[in-house]
Amino acid sequence: MRDVRVVCRQRQMAKPRNAFQFRAEAVQDLTMRTCVAAVFLALVSGAFADESPRARDLGIPFHGEPGPNNAITDVAGVTVGYTTLIRGDGQLVIGEGPVRTGVTAIHPRGRDSTAGVYAARFSLNGDGEVTGAHWLDEFGTLYGPILITNTVSVSDVHAAAVDWMRQRNPHDMSHLPVVAETWDGMLNDHYGRHITREHVYAALDNATSGPIAEGNVGGGTGMRSFGVKAGTGTASRQVGPYTIGVLVQANHGLPWRLTIAGVPIGQILFPDTTNHFAAQRSDGSSIFVVVATDAPLLPMQLERLAKRPAMGIGRVGGVAERGSGEIFVAFSTANTIEPSGGETITIEVLSDDAEYTLDYIYEAVIDATEEAIINAIIAAETMVGVNGVRVERLDHSTVRDILRRHNRLQSPE
């Protein structure tokens, strides 16, 4: 796939009044901007890790033992692919751009497997969309990928994913991929529906294991959280012989609520001095969380697991605002579920009597969700989107200084 980037020279913006302040302002003097070429395009497939820093690189402390990549791909067999679309500049023209969006694809068993996994979902606040939800509720199984994109592109991504699945398994009578979304209309021409079948296929076909990119990638390209740029983030935890991995598409939260390592970063950098009930909105924010594990859990147990990301979201300051969709899916790769496995099957299940193990797995989901959200924020870069709207990244030096003053800064890993 192409990765074409045209460098633009832009008049330097005034330094924000503080490093955290939300900058979503139109650039008034667009004539001052000169570009080397008229088109800026970035189409990136696969999920290879980039050079973006992660939260631990800054010395931000977290509880729990991560896996080797500290990513959802630490769960054996899980692969992740992205297509990232960044094109155009200036005023919004629906159908033309600017484009700041993408799609993320997660294969529970890798691209080439048609076997299923046990799965479940939980909706903390249902202001959002997830296809295949009723199937998960009724049967507790997932055959195929999970995809995450923007709100308006759900139908396009779903149709493309069905075609992709049918081509690989033409004998199956029905294909029900899980497609979820968060809203990127602040930065992206979302009504332009720029994600095509080729983009979805690229994300599915180029999914990889190992370290994966974070921040402004995939479905998270145009997302922001707590008033700063965010997007895609991931983390993992080890619990005895089991691995728990989490991937988030973070697009939620209000600025003054941001909490990192227990420190009220948002209150320090963005004091809550306004009548926010009248003047502030969450602007359609949401977060979608995928939890993967190799612990042998049944759908009923996975439903309990799928509730725990809510507590990780709460740690960083999320409260599931009225207009926010907090929706989570959890799956286990421990048992292979064949489409036609016969009249009876034999499976392995972690007993409910193993309460301490289950408790630690629950805790691992909370810990990994917290870290994945902060990773999404730390890895993200400042982005200018439709109508010159600008969303700043969270300044790393400022965060480190605040954590140091509160004795919460560790030596970077």
From residue 385, give the alpha-carbon distance in Å to each of 35, 50, 98: 15, 22, 6
- Half-sphere exposure of residue 175, counting CA atoms within 13 Å on the CB side? 22
| Strands of 14-98, DSSP E | 34-35, 41-46, 79-87
3-state helix, strand, coil in the chain (%, to 5): 30, 25, 45
The H-assigned helical ranges of 140-264 are 154-168, 197-205
Find the catalytic residue in 129, 324, 370, 392.
324
Distance CA 123, CA 44 (A): 31
Distance CA 261, CA 399 (A): 10
Find the catalytic residue in 326, 363, 371, 392.
326
Would residue 236 show up in a list of annotated catalytic residues for this protein?
A: no
Distance CA 311, CA 289 (A): 12
Tell whether omega for the bond before 299 is within 30 degrees of 0, i.e. cis.
no
Find the catalytic residue in 209, 236, 286, 332.
286
Q: Could you tell me which of 213, 6, 24, 209 has the C-alpha nearest to residue 102?
A: 213
User: What is the CB neighbour count within 10 angstroms for residue 197?
Assistant: 14
Would residue 326 show up in a list of annotated catalytic residues for this protein?
A: yes
Distance CA 61, CA 244 (A): 19
Residue 394 has which token pair?
């969270």
Distance CA 82, CA 102 (A): 7
Distance CA 310, CA 297 (A): 20
Would residue 324 show up in a list of annotated catalytic residues for this protein?
A: yes
What separation, in Å, do the N-terminal and C-terminal C-alpha atoms of the chain show? 33
Q: Name the residues annotated as catalytic.
A: 286, 324, 326
